[in-house]
Structure 1
Amino acid sequence: MDRLEQTQREQLSAFLDTSPIVRAYELRNAGIAGETIRRAVQSGELVRIARGLYQRADSEVETEQALAEAAKRVPKGVIAMISALAFHGLTDQMPRRIWVAISARDWAPVPSYPPIRIVELRDKYMQHGIEHHPISGVDVPIFSVSKTLADVFRNSKLVDRSVAVEGLRAALDQRKATPGEIADAAMAADSWRIMRPYLEALTSNG
């Protein structure tokens, strides 16, 4: 290995220390040549998990790693619906696909990995309640507890009402959002009329 290649491999190793999951263009922008990437894959240092998407071979697999990979594959998307409920610990369901919301005006890619379910939301529903969580070195946008509950109640054709009610009850029991925060998010997301009787029933003293 010549000195240039060694330096490239050192740069790659340093980059992967902070970003275990990385896209090819990010490596190129960091000055790492395509040949270095290919050799790292051949040697087993780097694993190609999808076209243009790589993962450090010895990185510890996190339970939410698929969310990080989905965020890389759909840069303008936000983790939503069942996947957001699962992330926040509000459902026992483990969706087979990652639910990602995008604006209706954005292009919806169809990546082969991880399996993703794209949900198109109107622009006004994409503007609020976005949190950012670091997962596997990736900044992953995920809708907040209150915003997620508002979305699952509004979209009964996508999410069964029993799942929405289960999530609402769990959020209240675990105190992950106050009734006021949930109500405000539901009003902003045009789902208050649907959610109100359930929220009132779960928070009544009687």
Structure 2
Amino acid sequence: MGSVDQSGAGGGALARLRATFSYSEALAAGVTEWRLYQLRDQGLIESLGRGLYRRRDAEATDLDLVETARRASAATLCLTTALARHGLTDEIPARIDVALPRGRHRPVTVAPVAWHWFDPATFQIGRTELPLDPETSIGLYSPERSIIDAVRLRHREGPDLVYAALRRWLRRRDASPSSLLGMARNFPRAERPLREALEILL
């Protein structure tokens, strides 16, 4: 997105703000509430939901994911959403599948999010980071972890998702069934059915 003229009200303070910023961050940078609304009305910033804004001159990105990442720092793309990111399914979920450690508060978002609560003891296994812009990233489970989660939650996600993802994953040059099963040992409900699925497909 091209640059915009920031010489008007609050422009100097706006230039010191991150691409995505909160109401309190704007106040701390010297942008009054009145000037914040003026910047919005001038089209220099846009609202991403209650108390969260993004500069119009920031680079283009997925604003739904940016909002989700800012609302919950532990937010991690999982299940069908993660499998789609890794090219392991053609399904396009109506809502973004996002995992949080069990016990965490579910934030309110404008973005269409389906929240899932995972065991804190295994939450970090296979978790990587997906950069959204120079200042923001969101968690993303690896292909292997995403398959394991689909297996252990197959009663909700459906077995077809598991088999389709496994078939595609096995065609990859870097696919390692032994490594996949090694990760699955951390998830007792997934190891046996995953091993059985691999025996069918291999």
TM-score of the two chains, using structure 1 as the length reference: 0.81
> For residues 119 and 159 of structure 2, what CA distance do their matches in structure 1 show?
21
Identity %: 26
How big is the shift at 1:110? 3.3
Checking the alignment, whether the CA contact within 8 Å between 1:91 and 1:166 is kept in structure 2 is yes
Partner SS, residue 86 of structure 1: helix
Structure holding more helix per residue = 1
- 1:96 corresponding residue in structure 2: 94
> Deviation digits for residues 104-156 of structure 1, max 9, x if unmatched?
21112232x10111111122231311101211341111111111111110011
Equivalent of 2:139 in 121, 138, 141: 141
Partner SS, residue 142 of structure 1: strand
> For residues 46 and 52 of structure 1, what CA distance do their matches in structure 2 show?
12
> For residues 107 and 11 of structure 1, what CA distance do their matches in structure 2 show?
32
> For residues 30 and 64 of structure 2, what CA distance do their matches in structure 1 show?
27
> For residues 41 and 174 of structure 2, what CA distance do their matches in structure 1 show?
45
1:41–1:170 Cα change, 3 Å: same
* Residues 1:49 and 2:48 are matched in the alignment: yes
Checking the alignment, whether the CA contact within 8 Å between 1:70 and 1:98 is kept in structure 2 is no
Gaps of 5+ in 1: none
> For residues 142 and 29 of structure 1, what CA distance do their matches in structure 2 show?
31
| RMSD (Å) for aligned C-alpha atoms | 2.4
Q: How many aligned residue pairs are there? A: 194
1:55–1:192 Cα change, 3 Å: same
1:27–1:166 Cα change, 3 Å: farther
> For residues 97 and 152 of structure 1, what CA distance do their matches in structure 2 show?
16
Equivalent of 2:122 in 118, 121, 125: 125
TM-score of the two chains, using structure 2 as the length reference: 0.83
1:75–1:43 Cα change, 3 Å: same
Gaps of 5+ in 2: 1-6
Checking the alignment, whether the CA contact within 8 Å between 1:78 and 1:100 is kept in structure 2 is yes
Matches within 5 A, 1:114-193: 114-137=111-134, 138-175=136-173, 177-190=175-188, 191-193=190-192
How big is the shift at 1:47? 0.7
> For residues 140 and 181 of structure 2, what CA distance do their matches in structure 1 show?
19
How big is the shift at 1:33? 4.0
**Which one-letter code corresponds to 1:53 in the other structure?**
L
